[in-house]
Amino acid sequence: MNPDAFDALSAALTAGSRADDRLLGLVLLGSASESGRACRDEWSDHDFFALAHRGRGAEARQSLEWLPDPASRVLVAREGEIGFAVLYADGHLLEFALAEVDELSGALAGDASVVVDDEAGSVAALIEDARRRAEASDRFDPANDTALFLVKLMVGVGRVRRGERLNGGQFIRQWAVQHLIRAVRGRFATVSTSRRDIIDPVRRFEEDFPAEGARIAEILDRPVEECARGLFDLARDVLEPGWAEFPTPAADAVAARLGWGADAAARGGS
């Protein structure tokens, strides 16, 4: 979506939320927000919170007629009790929560623009709290994340060898990778830039760590057990040197359990 069309859709969302008496506020999130504009590109969608008046959340979730251009919608999907995804014919996506303020009491927010609010500033207060929670959670414990990386990797390989390729692959390619990336960000904290996503450390990892990001991406294209071994080797290459907190005995135990001797070739073909 080109920039003018993106802004026009933001304006239409704002107008629609103001016109619906069930709604009291609208918050544009991520690249849809003003502070996130620099991160916006052709693949950016509209993420937002739509806030309903107290006691009217369930009612508001029953219909979405306030959203722009209903004739162009090709898909409406629910994500949990308060989440929605709406796809338009041109491929543009809306992802949002439609909830009362209390229903979003545990929400996290990074880049956010409050574009509609009530006189009491209820939405602005919600977002201020959500930002504080996000900033508090934007902390890394690289030693613990490295330990969890090793655990997820060993569990995943074990399940693959048992024949549970789908579940094992999820442990390796998803959970282990997330902990590995958190460990790298924590181990080299000064490298991460302000463009990082404080809610999802995987976002824009390649911008802050291009060499490590490219290597992880290449490893993820390998067969599943080759992938696991490649991630393990990367962790030792990148994290272990010069770092006293690296759990070397645990890494050695994982390698021994999985048959990954120091000189063994990566196991492949699984």
Q: What is the pLDDT of residue 266?
A: 37
What percent of the chain is predicted at pLDDT more than 90? 73
Query: Which of 87, 108, 137 is a domain's end point?
Result: 137
Q: What is the pLDDT of residue 132?
A: 84
Report yes or no: 168 and 158 within 8 Å, Cβ to Cβ.
yes
In the numeric block, which tokens belong to residue 88?
A: 């338009």
Q: Which of 99-108, 143-152, 232-241 has the lowest mean pLDDT?
A: 99-108
Could you count the other beta carbons within 10 Å of the beta carbon of residue 150? 22
Nearest Cα neighbor of 145 from 213, 238, 224, 230 is: 238
Instruction: Please report which residue ranges of 86-203 form alpha helices under DSSP H.
Output: 122-137, 142-162, 165-170, 177-187
65-94: average pLDDT: 94
Say yes or no to pLDDT of 270 above 70: no
Say yes or no to pLDDT of 13 above 70: yes
Say yes or no to pLDDT of 236 above 50: yes
Secondary element (H or E) of residue 17: helix 3-19
Q: What is the C-alpha to C-alpha distance for residues 41 and 156, in angstroms, rounded to an integer?
A: 35
Quick one: 18 and 101 in the same domain? Answer: yes
Report yes or no: 99 and 49 within 8 Å, Cβ to Cβ.
yes
Quick one: 190 and 248 in the same domain? Answer: yes
Report yes or no: 206 and 115 within 8 Å, Cβ to Cβ.
no
Say yes or no to pLDDT of 16 above 90: yes
With tokens 């991460």, the residue in question is 192
Q: What is the pLDDT of residue 199?
A: 66
Query: Can you list the positions of beta strands (E) in the chain?
Result: 23-29, 46-52, 73-79, 83-88, 93-100, 112-116
Cα angle: 248, vertex 250, 256; to 5 degrees: 105
Secondary element (H or E) of residue 247: none
118-133: average pLDDT: 90
What percent of the chain is predicted at pLDDT more than 70? 93
Quick one: 212 and 252 in the same domain? Answer: yes
Say yes or no to pLDDT of 193 above 90: no
Spell out a b/e string for 103-140, using b for 16 or more CB atoms within 10 Å of the CB, else e. Answer: bbeebbbbbbbbbbbeeeebbeebbebbbeebeeebeb
Q: What is the pLDDT of residue 197?
A: 67
Quick one: 32 and 115 in the same domain? Answer: yes
Quick one: 161 and 115 in the same domain? Answer: no
Query: Which of 122, 137, 152 is a domain's end point?
Result: 137
Quick one: 14 and 84 in the same domain? Answer: yes
C-alpha atoms less than 13 angstroms from C-alpha of 266 in its C-beta half-sphere? 18
Query: Which of 114, 137, 160 is a domain's end point?
Result: 137
For residue 206, give its domain range: 142-258
pTM of the model: 0.72
